[in-house]
């Protein structure tokens, strides 16, 4: 498998995906999402790959968000399609993959980056990682499943606070709230994930796949459809135009009523 934005390394029964856009803090653009889709599908179809680990290149960022310049001028319809296609191509794909996926969060996991990590079956973070959903500061909401998966992991109250304040939390708070499963030193991140993968590999692949499907069956899909609709509607607002323009111009947004 040869890609422009990601790296694949298969060692034994473990497939390691590295998002390799360090100059862009590994931001998710359309091309990267499409490459990740292909990579996950290919690894799932490889009978030798029993666990997948995904991480970001460098030590600054897992994924520091979506590439805002790509969609700053989208219409309501285009915004809805962005969320719907992204969820179908990548985020829902990962969540329902029969092969377990571990997110190795090596730095900033913001916006679409945190949504990517939350779509994985569980998460391990380095002790200097920072996580958050800053979308409301741009005049939009999380559109890749963030409004659904975050409450499932940390509870409604904490999710409301994180999304409405657009703030970041550190690894210790993420661990206490259940957003991540483990916190380790940066140099131990991948080895620790590989150790957990080794324990999974000892178990029945059929049973692992069935367990994933059974656990996911307890969470409905109506919320995701509502998120896509609401996300798209944001693209028709003045707040969205101001929020994204301010971000691209590297200034603080001046929303009406402030």
Pick the catalytic residue: 115, 194, 233, 242?
A: 115
Rounded Cα gap, residues 187 and 190, in angstroms = 8
Active site residue 135: yes
pLDDT in tens, 45-78: 999 999 999 999 998 999 999 888 889 899 999 9
* pLDDT over 80 (residue 243): yes
Residues in the chain: 258
Active site residue 161: no
Locate all alpha helices (DSSP H) within the chain, ordered by sequence: 30-45, 76-86, 92-95, 112-119, 146-154, 156-165, 171-177, 189-201, 205-216, 222-234, 238-248
pLDDT in tens, 165-203: 999 999 999 999 999 999 999 999 999 999 999 999 999
Pick the catalytic residue: 35, 135, 194, 227?
A: 135
pLDDT in tens, 197-228: 999 999 999 999 999 999 998 887 788 888 99
* Neighbouring C-alpha atoms within 13 Å toward the C-beta of 226: 7
């Amino acid at each position: 498998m040869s890609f422009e934005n990601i790296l694949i390394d298969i060692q034994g029964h473990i497939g390691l995906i590295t998002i390799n856009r360090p100059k862009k803090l590994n931001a998710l653009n359309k091309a990267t999402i499409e490459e990740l889709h292909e990579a996950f599908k290919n690894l799932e179809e490889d009978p030798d790959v029993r666990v997948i680990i995904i991480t970001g290149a460098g030590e600054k960022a897992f994924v520091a968000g979506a590439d805002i310049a790509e969609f700053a001028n989208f219409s309501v319809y285009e915004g809805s399609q962005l969320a719907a296609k992204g969820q179908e191509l990548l985020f829902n794909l990962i969540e329902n993959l029969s092969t377990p996926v571990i997110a190795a969060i090596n730095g900033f996991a913001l916006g679409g980056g945190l949504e990517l990590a939350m779509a994985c079956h569980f998460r391990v973070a380095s002790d200097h990682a920072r996580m958050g959903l800053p979308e409301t500061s741009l005049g939009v909401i999380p559109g890749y499943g963030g409004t659904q998966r975050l409450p499932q992991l940390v509870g409604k109250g904490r999710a409301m606070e994180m999304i409405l304040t657009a703030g970041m939390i550190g690894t210790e708070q993420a661990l206490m709230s259940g957003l991540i499963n483990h916190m380790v030193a940066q140099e131990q991140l991948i080895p620790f994930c590989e150790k957990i993968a080794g324990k999974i590999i000892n178990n029945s692949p059929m049973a692992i796949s069935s367990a994933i499907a059974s656990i996911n069956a307890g969470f409905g899909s109506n919320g995701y459809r509502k998120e896509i609709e609401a996300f798209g509607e944001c693209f028709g607002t003045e707040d969205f135009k101001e929020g994204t323009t301010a971000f691209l111009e590297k200034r603080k947004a001046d929303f009406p009523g402030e």
